[in-house]
């Protein structure tokens, strides 16, 4: 039996039309400056979704874009994997809502909750499904609506300046051609640092899982309501882990880092990615970014950037491409593909 090689057949993206600049955040009452945000993060603006628009809504146009790019019809999709840290509800998952909106009743829908590395974890699942023959055409989505769950006060500026809304998607298919495809995918986690970047809106170790007042209304304290981050710890761990992951992935595939045509990094902080780039000795044109326009869209950053690169002609068939991400958990991943 000829082995099936999973490959990314199509890419798609969607970002909401509303542009929110750094100055817009300042005008809303956050005590910061445009220069401060740019110098520390590289972010100039981000997109915010409209009220009533959720991650599965943003995923629909991204998926349709990816399916068209793959030369398929929506009806050809037989599995959905949805990576997000901002689902519409605690349950059910956003994948089921997306399935209904795409008009695909009956096909499996799986949610992946690995935050900034969620897209790569989901891509690993899709690779396994296709390579094993369990699925033929898998949609992998990363979609986030951060704007609904951030503290837009000066106290919350360390988080609220960093994130935006958006969705990206790819279609993973199988091929008998060994010259292309996702050659390797390395994943990892270190739960010792899980609290370094977390949002603990509820705690099911306690009963009730959200404290209530005398009338039964939920009361969420600020420390639980908003995300918290140990920025120095995250920065240090991110650069060390991403560099190590790329080097290990190249070694596994018997290529030099210099032989990579593109390194597509999770767009969390431009300074992190510049440090990774410089330590790996890669030129800027091989490590593209779009964080300046969209900020950190968590699980959506890599597929949004892939879609832009493909549309711009910077991502071409036959290229050696590495995808790398690091995020809350701590979790991380690195994939190598021949496009």
CATH number of 181-195+227-338: 3.40.47.10
Q: Which of 6, 42, 209 is nearest to 124 (CA)?
A: 6
Q: Which of 314, 321, 290, 297 is nearest to 118 (CA)?
A: 297
SS3 188: strand
Q: Which of 310, 315, 311, 327 is nearest to 144 (CA)?
A: 327
pTM for this predicted structure: 0.96
Determine the Cα angle at 145 with ends 202 and 291, to 5°. Answer: 120
SS3 339: coil
pLDDT tens for 286-303 read 999 999 999 999 999 999
Q: Report CA-CA distances (Å) from 111 to 219, 265, 329, 334.
A: 28, 22, 16, 20
Residue 1's pLDDT is: 61
pLDDT tens for 244-292 read 999 999 999 999 999 999 999 999 999 999 999 999 999 999 999 999 9
Average per-residue pLDDT for the chain = 96
Asked if residue 108 lies in contact with residue 291, where contact means CB atoms within 8 angstroms, the answer is no
**Range 210-235 average pLDDT:** 90
Name the pLDDT band for 179 (thresholds 50, 70, 90).
confident
Residues catalogued as catalytic? 116, 266, 296
CATH 3.40.47.10 location in the chain: 5-175, 181-195+227-338
Name the pLDDT band for 336 (thresholds 50, 70, 90).
very high
Name the pLDDT band for 176 (thresholds 50, 70, 90).
confident
Q: Which of 141, 162, 126, 128 is nearest to 94 (CA)?
A: 141
Q: Report CA-CA distances (Å) from 198 to 1, 11, 54, 94, 208.
A: 46, 30, 21, 20, 20
SS3 336: strand
CATH class of segment(s) 5-175: alpha beta
């Amino acid at each position: 039996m000829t082995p099936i090689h999973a490959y990314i057949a199509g890419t798609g993206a969607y970002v909401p039309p509303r542009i929110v600049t750094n100055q817009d955040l300042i005008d809303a009452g956050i005590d910061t400056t445009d220069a401060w945000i740019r110098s520390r993060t590289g972010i100039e603006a981000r997109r915010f979704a409209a009220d009533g628009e959720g991650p599965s809504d943003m995923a629909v146009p991204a998926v349709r874009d990816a399916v068209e790019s793959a030369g398929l019809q929506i009806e050809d999709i037989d599995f959905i994997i949805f990576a997000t840290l901002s689902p519409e509800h605690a349950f059910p998952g956003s994948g089921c809502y997306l399935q209904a909106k795409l008009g695909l009743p009956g096909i499996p829908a799986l949610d992946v909750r690995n935050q900034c590395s969620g897209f790569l974890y989901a891509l690993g699942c899709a690779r396994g499904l296709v390579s094993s023959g369990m699925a033929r055409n898998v949609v992998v989505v990363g979609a986030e609506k951060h704007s609904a769950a951030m503290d837009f006060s000066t106290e919350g500026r360390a988080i609220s300046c960093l994130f935006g809304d958006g969705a990206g998607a790819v279609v993973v298919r199988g091929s008998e051609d060994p010259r292309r495809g996702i050659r390797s995918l390395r994943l990892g986690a270190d739960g010792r640092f899980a609290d370094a970047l977390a949002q603990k809106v509820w705690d099911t170790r306690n009963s009730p899982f959200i404290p209530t007042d005398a009338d039964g209304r939920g009361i969420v304290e600020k420390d639980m309501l908003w995300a918290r981050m140990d920025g120095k710890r995250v920065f240090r761990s991110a650069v060390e882990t991403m560099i190590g992951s790329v080097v290990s992935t190249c070694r596994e595939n018997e290529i030099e880092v210099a032989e990579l045509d593109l390194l597509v990094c999770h767009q969390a902080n431009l300074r992190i990615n510049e440090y990774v780039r410089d330590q790996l000795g890669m030129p800027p044109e091989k490590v593209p970014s779009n964080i300046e326009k969209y900020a950190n869209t968590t699980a959506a950053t890599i597929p949004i950037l892939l879609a832009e690169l493909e549309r711009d002609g910077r991502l071409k068939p036959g290229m050696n491409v590495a995808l790398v991400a690091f995020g809350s958990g701590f979790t991380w991943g690195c994939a190598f593909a021949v496009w």
